[in-house]
Amino acid sequence: MVEKIKTSVRYRGALLAPVLGVLLLAGIITEKVMMHEPMIDASPYHAHVRDVAQSLPMIMGDWVGTDEPVPTAAVTLLRPNVLISRRFVNVRSGLVANVLLVQCTDRRDLLGHYPPVCYPGQGWRITSNNLWNVRVKEVTIPAKTYKMVKPSTDKAERMIVGNFMIMPDGRLVRDMTGLGRLSDKKSHNPFGAAQMQVVVPGYLTANVREQIFRELVTGHFPLIQAIGAGENYKRRD
């Protein structure tokens, strides 16, 4: 009787082993399909973004731009696909503004370029930051403004930075918090992300600042749209 029971157990075990093996294999395949997406070649997308950046005009309405040098250390830190650093002068009003637009293939490289990290390292102190929504070409730009002061032996310098991030899925977000929400989506990783800043003197009124921001963002809108088209490139492939 005992021998029969042992034989029965061995028989059931022999039948169960292949079944468990099939289930385990199915689980492995399912995990690979659901958790590991195939590698995406984003190089055509990044090449297109570079082409659009190079085609941007230096004259945007009443604004005339000139390239500003970027420290080598900053370039090394950012490893940018696109890096625009320009000083714009309005030929009518004489007002001056700076534009910084950086697009990286790895969004994590933007961490060092984030205003609360970058500017204090250059001696600036952030006195306040505020949420800011600006309508540009029928699109609401969710930006953030940073008021800054830089003490000196003569007179303190003051400036205001309007900042927003450009995602490869077409979304615009205010800061690195919005950028981080997508960090676990592997499909976005090959397309990176971008950041745009418009920097103006601190003495300007809110209305003047908004007008400058709107005009310069409008001038760079073809590049903003190109950066936001990463997911279209994914679907096209």
- Each residue's pLDDT tens digit, 168-227: 999 999 988 766 654 444 444 789 999 999 999 999 999 999 999 999 999 999 999 999
Q: What is the pTM of this model?
A: 0.78
Distance from C-alpha of 1 to C-alpha of 164, rounded to nearest angstrom: 78
Extract the tokens encoding 175: 């800061």
Identify the pLDDT of residue 32.
Answer: 41
Please state, for a pLDDT cut of 90, what percent of the chain lies above it: 54
Specify burial of residue 150 (Cβ count, 10 A radius: 0-12, 13-18, 19+).
middle
Distance from C-alpha of 140 to C-alpha of 213, rounded to nearest angstrom: 12
